[in-house]
Chains A and B, each alone.
Chain A
Amino acid sequence: MILEVKKLQTGYGKLQVLRGVDLCVGKESVGLFGPNGAGKTTLINAIMGIVKPWSGAIEFEGKSIAGQATHLVARSGIALVPQERELFPGLSVADNLELGAVYVPRGKAIKAQQLEIVLELFPILKERIKQYVGTLSGGQQRMVAIARALMANPALLILDEPSLGLQPSIVAEVFDRLSILKKDIAILVTEQNVRESLKAIDRGYVMENGAIVIEDTAKGLATNPHVLSAYLGI
């Protein structure tokens, strides 16, 4: 297993959000679905060390990373594409990509090689390489965010709602890129756009009220009556 979360509980102040979450990601692409407020982002924040776990375990490549500082989690090989892009608008595309690599040893070691791969995956960024990211369109910014995360050469790529605020054609493009990526690295992606993301994932979890309620393959989820009625509107 690349990532294993066991009986994870956490929250903010006195408010408990996660009520014993079990989740694992192997060399595959895993979806995490659920309505707003289910705790998807909190789970990701806990994995990244942005929110400290109250109890339970988080293991990455066999080592516990629960409660570790965020920059150390990032350096160990988990890259995050946060919700709402969160790029560095004061930097050019090139600098954003550079930044993704230089602070993570495993990314820094193969920076030039990784840059080629990333630019091949997102050719549009090659044309925009010198532009400040603040001047890019929403879809392009999302691509920079994913590209920056990939520059760290991660073993696990976490994407928090990558389709949020994007027009449908761009959403399809983003998921298209993710299905190319999943051959090489493990992916954990949270989404409200279940329909598009089911095409790009192998397996998925449905989270409600801070707990996992369904765990199944992409095919299984696509035919699950609860998923159909609650998330696909069928």
Chain B
Amino acid sequence: MKLKSSYIVVAVLSVIAIAFPAFLGAYPLNVARSIMTYMALAISWDMLLRSGQISFGIAGLFGLGSYASALAVLRGGMDPMLSIVFAAAFAGVMAYALGFAILRLRSMYFSITTLALMEIFRIVMHNLHDFSGGPEGVVLPSVIFKGASPALYWLCLAGLFLTIGVSWFFEKSKMHLALTAIRNDETSARSSGVNIFNYLLIAFVITSVLQGMMGAIQVQSYGFTTPDTAFDANFTLLPLAMALLGGIHSTIGPMAGAVLLGVASEWLKLKIPYGHLVVYGIIIILVILFMPQGLFGLARKARRERSKAGASHE
């Protein structure tokens, strides 16, 4: 019964999300797209985090996807929709190749290396003048769907739905056991027959595909990008803050965090145009200090405490 009601909630929320363009104008839809993009990135970041690996490379793969898609259209004459698929696949292939090297690293060494990747991609795009347009970036001949807000919104929503679906699959399948085991204790995971490297590689490639896809959707929706926009550190920092606030190691946590911070950020941007990032910083610090598991982590902890108390009364 409980399962059924949660399915109904999901269905209702999905229908509302799909129906948004019917009663929202271009500006709110634009805000919604930005929140959905960050939400998808936050979820994808969390998916890899479930294995204990903290990636700072979100912006790198997002930007890579942006450029792969834009350049495929501009230099290769590819269909814009197809270019999104191409960019996602390209990010996946890059992640697969890089994964062989960087997934042998752990903890901060892994994190710092992913951070460096972001810079490397940015610098390459910055300097490949003839191919990537250099610091001025690339301008596409036209925006996908001729820039119709509802269509752009649905495209972004489709990317988000796919991300949520994959994350949900991660939660319900063998991936969940493997990633949690790796996070908790690698030696024990190995001794239980888990091929750690394979699972990390799968998780890294899949999350990179999602991040690249969101980058491609972004560039096709705006019609232009520059190295500084595509590889903007915000694409790493904001999803991270959102996932931390909402609660890590889940799908719902990053989603809730993205809505809260996304709406707050729009409001803050209007109030303090250049200071809103300071507020993000403060939120990250407060969350890490006082609720390292985020909002949903607190709820989960309360539930766990209750189960413990209940068990001792038996």
Chain A contacts to B: CB under 8 angstroms:
48, 50, 69-71, 74-75, 79-80, 82, 86-91, 95, 98-100, 102-104, 107, 127-128, 130-132, 135, 148, 152
Stretch at the interface among B65-73, B92-100, B184-192: B184-192
Given A88-B181, A89-B184, A90-B249, A135–B190 Cβ distance below 8 Å?
no
Assess whether B191 is in contact with A131, with CB atoms less than 8 Å apart.
no
* B interface secondary structure, majority: helix
Assess whether B185 is in contact with A86, with CB atoms less than 8 Å apart.
yes
Whether a CB of chain A sits under 8 angstroms from the CB of B269 is no
A71's partner among B180, B184, B195, B304 (CB-CB below 8 A) is B195
A87's partner among B177, B188, B196, B304 (CB-CB below 8 A) is B188
Assess whether A135 is in contact with B304, with CB atoms less than 8 Å apart.
yes
Assess whether A135 is in contact with B307, with CB atoms less than 8 Å apart.
yes
A148's partner among B184, B192, B194, B304 (CB-CB below 8 A) is B192
Q: In the bound complex, how far is the Cα of B297 from the Cα of A85, in angstroms?
A: 25
Assess whether A71 is in contact with B307, with CB atoms less than 8 Å apart.
no
Assess whether B307 is in contact with A104, with CB atoms less than 8 Å apart.
no
Interfacial chain B residues near A69, Cβ < 8 Å: 190, 195
Return the chain A residue nearest B50 by Cβ: A90
Given A82-B187, A99-B181, A127-B314, A75–B249 Cβ distance below 8 Å?
no
A90's partner among B184, B187, B195, B311 (CB-CB below 8 A) is B184
Given A91-B177, A135-B308, A71–B188 Cβ distance below 8 Å?
no
Known pairs A86-B185, A99-B194, A152-B192 / 18 extra A-B pairs, C-beta < 8 Å: A50-B190, A71-B193, A74-B193, A79-B191, A82-B187, A82-B188, A88-B188, A88-B189, A91-B181, A95-B176, A95-B180, A98-B177, A100-B192, A127-B311, A128-B311, A131-B308, A132-B304, A152-B193
Interfacial chain B residues near A135, Cβ < 8 Å: 304, 307-308, 311
Return the chain B residue nearest A49 by Cβ: B190
Q: In the bound complex, how far is the Cα of B249 from the Cα of A132, in angstroms?
A: 15
Return the chain B residue nearest A95 by Cβ: B177
Interface residues of B in 241-269 (CB under 8 A from A): 249
Q: Which of B176, B181, B191, B314 has the most CB of A within 10 A?
A: B191
Q: In the bound complex, how far is the Cα of B188 from the Cα of A86, in angstroms?
A: 6
Return the chain B residue nearest A107 by Cβ: B193
Assess whether B177 is in contact with A74, with CB atoms less than 8 Å apart.
no
Q: In the bound complex, how far is the Cα of B195 from the Cα of A89, in angstroms?
A: 20
Q: In the bound complex, how far is the Cα of B249 from the Cα of A193, in angstroms?
A: 40
Q: In the bound complex, how far is the Cα of B314 from the Cα of A127, in angstroms?
A: 10
Assess whether B191 is in contact with A74, with CB atoms less than 8 Å apart.
yes
A87 to chain B, nearest CB (A): 7
Interfacial chain B residues near A100, Cβ < 8 Å: 192
Chain B contacts to A: CB under 8 angstroms:
174, 176-178, 180-181, 183-185, 187-196, 249, 304, 307-308, 311, 314
Q: In the bound complex, how far is the Cα of B176 from the Cα of A146, in angstroms?
A: 21
Nearest 8 pairs between A and B by C-beta? A103-B193, A70-B190, A74-B193, A88-B184, A104-B193, A86-B188, A80-B191, A135-B308
A71 to chain B, nearest CB (A): 5
A-B contact pairs, 12 of them (CB 8 A): A70-B191, A89-B184, A91-B181, A91-B184, A95-B177, A95-B180, A99-B177, A99-B192, A103-B192, A127-B311, A128-B311, A131-B311
Return the chain A residue nearest B198 by Cβ: A71
B103 to chain A, nearest CB (A): 15
Assess whether A74 is in contact with B183, with CB atoms less than 8 Å apart.
no
Interfacial chain A residues near B183, Cβ < 8 Å: 90
Interfacial chain A residues near B174, Cβ < 8 Å: 102-103
Interfacial chain B residues near A148, Cβ < 8 Å: 192
Assess whether A71 is in contact with B178, with CB atoms less than 8 Å apart.
no
Q: In the bound complex, how far is the Cα of B195 from the Cα of A50, in angstroms?
A: 13
Assess whether A130 is in contact with B192, with CB atoms less than 8 Å apart.
no
Q: In the bound complex, how far is the Cα of B176 from the Cα of A130, in angstroms?
A: 16
Assess whether B178 is in contact with A103, with CB atoms less than 8 Å apart.
yes
Q: Which of B176, B193, B304, B307 has the most CB of A within 10 A?
A: B193
Q: Which of B183, B192, B194, B195 has the most CB of A within 10 A?
A: B192
Return the chain A residue nearest B190 by Cβ: A70
Q: In the bound complex, how far is the Cα of B191 from the Cα of A71, in angstroms?
A: 6
B53 to chain A, nearest CB (A): 15
Interfacial chain B residues near A103, Cβ < 8 Å: 174, 178, 192-195
Assess whether B191 is in contact with A48, with CB atoms less than 8 Å apart.
yes
Q: Which of A79, A103, A128, A132 has the most CB of B within 10 A?
A: A103
B284 to chain A, nearest CB (A): 23
Interfacial chain A residues near B178, Cβ < 8 Å: 99, 103
Interfacial chain B residues near A80, Cβ < 8 Å: 191
Assess whether A71 is in contact with B196, with CB atoms less than 8 Å apart.
yes
B192's partner among A50, A90, A104, A132 (CB-CB below 8 A) is A104
Return the chain B residue nearest A134 by Cβ: B304
A144 to chain B, nearest CB (A): 12
Q: In the bound complex, how far is the Cα of B247 from the Cα of A186, in angstroms?
A: 44
Return the chain A residue nearest B303 by Cβ: A132
Return the chain B residue nearest A82 by Cβ: B188
Return the chain A residue nearest B183 by Cβ: A90
